[in-house]
Every structure is written in structure tokens, then in C-alpha cells.
Amino acid sequence: MSEIHRKTGVILALDVTKKEEALLISKEVAGFVDAIKIGYPLVLGTGLSIAKDLSKIAPVIADFKVADIPNTDRLICEHVFSAGCDAVIVQGFTGSDSLMECVKTANEFQRKVFVVAEMSHPGGDYFFTDAVSKEIAALAKKAGAFGIVAPATRPERVKELRAVIGKDLKIISPGVGAQGGSAADTIKAGADWVIVGRSIYGAKDPKAEAEKIKKEIEKLI
């Protein structure tokens, strides 16, 4: 288990599906990212044991967008944390009991929960309207989550959600690069980390791309 500390401001979204590729890219970019986010593509492709391998390189965030009844959520989170993940991403729309069960389980394992406040793709604000996103963010704060997920593709929403949660919770923001978001604008809007997938792992030189984003963020400090 390792803590997620902000050094670079970058989280790698590792949506490749082969173990060798996942390990190779992670080792290459290790000094330029603060955590590695894994999700269904990689875990379905390689098995959950990939989490332990990657946790030797950087803290691992399991993006399973957990969204079930409290008992099932607990069972999922227990597996995720036992597998070596340092944090899990869950949905907040399931309501406070489900969310609180995830946070309770994370606390038992001394791990962290991030709650999706809004998706980053074009259709992402269809159901996650401004009011709903804010309500979910407020619920995440009330439940004791470590942070929320907010869209880098809509920096203005990052800013508004930061105002809702204050300084206590972290914001991680996907949507930089391939989805059109800018790392600098997202951090300026109040995110702690940008999450970057395809622009890093799909680049000819993933290390150079990760370093470029790290430097873009450094310039703001």
C-alpha cells in the first residue's frame, strides 16, 4: 500500500489490455506520474493480479465506477483493496448508504475512495446535470470520501465543484489530451491531478509525453 502524493499532478489512465505493455509503459513513465489508474480494459484483459504488479511501480487507483447496493459494493471494495489497489473510484448516484459502505470499507483497509461527480465525454452532462453533479460532490464530502472525479473537458465545472467541496477533498480530472481537455486549464480550475490515458500510452514516446504534461503543470506553480 502506498499513499498518493501530489508531485507531478499527473495520473496515468492505463487502458491497455496486455500485461507486458502495461508494465513496460508504467516503468517508463514512473517518475512522471503520481499514480496509475486501472479499469475494466486492463483488469479484464490481464486479471486483477495486475494491481499488485503495478503497485510496485506507483500507487494504483481502481476505476471500477462501483455502483451497487451497499453489500455488493463492500464485497467489490474488499476485493479491490485486498488485490493491492490504493484507491477505488465509485459512483455517487447510488445514494448515501452505498457510498458510505464504500468509504467504511476503504477506511478499514486504510485506502481511499474517489466519487464520480461528472463524466468527461460529450454525453456526460446529460444526466449529470449541474445540480446533480454538485449534489453528488456534496454527498462525497459528507460521506468522507478522499476526492471526486470531475471533467477536464469542462474546466468551469471543475471550478464549480471545487467550490462545493472546499479544500478538504481532492479532485482528479480525466479528459486531458485525447478528449480535448487542457492540463493547465484543469489544474488552474482547481483539480489536484489530471488523468491522462491515450495521449500517454498511445504516444510513440510515452515518457516524453508524460514529462511534457508534468512540465505544463509545473509552470503553473
Cβ-based nearer residue to ligand C5P, 196 or 217: 196
Coil, strand, or helix at residue 146? coil
The gap between the terminal CA atoms of the chain, to the nearest Å, is 29
Tell me how far, at minimum, the Cβ of 63 lies from ligand C5P, in Å.
6
68 part of the active site:
yes
31-56 b/e (C-beta count within 10 Å ≥ 16 → b): ebbbbbbbbebbbeebebebbeebbe
Is residue 15 at the binding interface for ligand C5P, with CB under 6 A as the rule?
yes
Please identify which of the residues 53, 68, 130, 185 carries the catalytic annotation.
68
Distance, in Å, from the CA atom of 191 to the CA atom of 212, rounded to the nearest integer, reads 18
**Strands 60-66, 147-149: pairing kind:** unpaired
Q: Which of residues 54-113 bind ligand C5P (CB under 6 A)?
A: 63
- Is there a catalytic annotation at residue 73? no
Question: For ligand C5P, which residue of 70, 84, 175, 190 counts as binding (CB under 6 A)?
Answer: 175
Q: How far is the CB of 121 from ligand C5P (least distance, A)?
A: 6
Residue 155 interacts with ligand C5P (CB under 6 A): yes or no = no
Largest Cα–Cα separation, the chain: 45
Q: Quick check: 196 binds ligand C5P (CB under 6 A)?
A: yes
Instruction: Clarify whether 192 is annotated catalytic.
Output: no
Regarding 158 and contact with ligand C5P (CB under 6 A), the answer is: no
The CA-atom distances, in angstroms, between 50 and each of 35, 90, 164 are 14, 20, 35
Residues that bind ligand C5P (CB under 6 A): 13, 15, 39, 63, 116, 119-120, 149, 151, 174-175, 177-179, 195-198
